[in-house]
Amino acid sequence: MNKSVTILLSALAVMISPSAGAQDAASGVQTLRGADAAATDQAPQEQRYLGKGPGSQNPITRTFSTQPPLIPHAVENFDVVTLQGNPCLACHGPENYKQIKAPKVADSHFKDRAGKTLSEVSPTRYQCTACHVPQADAKPLVDNTFRGDLRSAPKK
């Protein structure tokens, strides 16, 4: 048989083989929520966030250049972000950051999608915790071998 026809036929055999699903099990790939779709979800244990009130910790080293810096301080007891007020900006915004001695919200946060500079923080950056996350001492759900590229991280 012609070589390319043989390759095509064996590829087809793999695609329609009923054991394709079993191969996932054999390779050890498993669902994290369990295979029984009807079972009630187990809510994960609630974790306390680490860190004390703002003003008493060092920044956490960034692991790559475009990483949103991690929040080193506690975030409990802040007001919620609303249209009328944003507690994060009360400290990190351009008006107050100097008195509070908080890092100023990044210049990039004043640009709209087209790159035009705005006089206020862009609405696309208003929900700070969509990108900046507080810390918890939580065991990773799956092992991983991620290593940041410290060479590209901004020096702090």
Q: How far is the CB of 138 from ligand HEC (least distance, A)?
A: 18
Q: How far is the CB of 155 from ligand HEC (least distance, A)?
A: 11
Contact 47, 138 (CB under 8 A): yes
Beta carbon nearer to ligand HEC, 34 or 85: 85
Question: CB atoms < 10 A from the CB of 53, how many?
Answer: 10
Contact 48, 138 (CB under 8 A): no
Beta carbon nearer to ligand HEC, 57 or 63: 57
Enumerate binding residues for ligand HEC (CB under 6 A). 54-57, 59, 66, 68-69, 71-73, 75, 78, 86-92, 100-103, 105-106, 108-109, 121, 125-132
The dihedral through the CA atoms of 32, 35, 37, 43 has a sign that is: negative
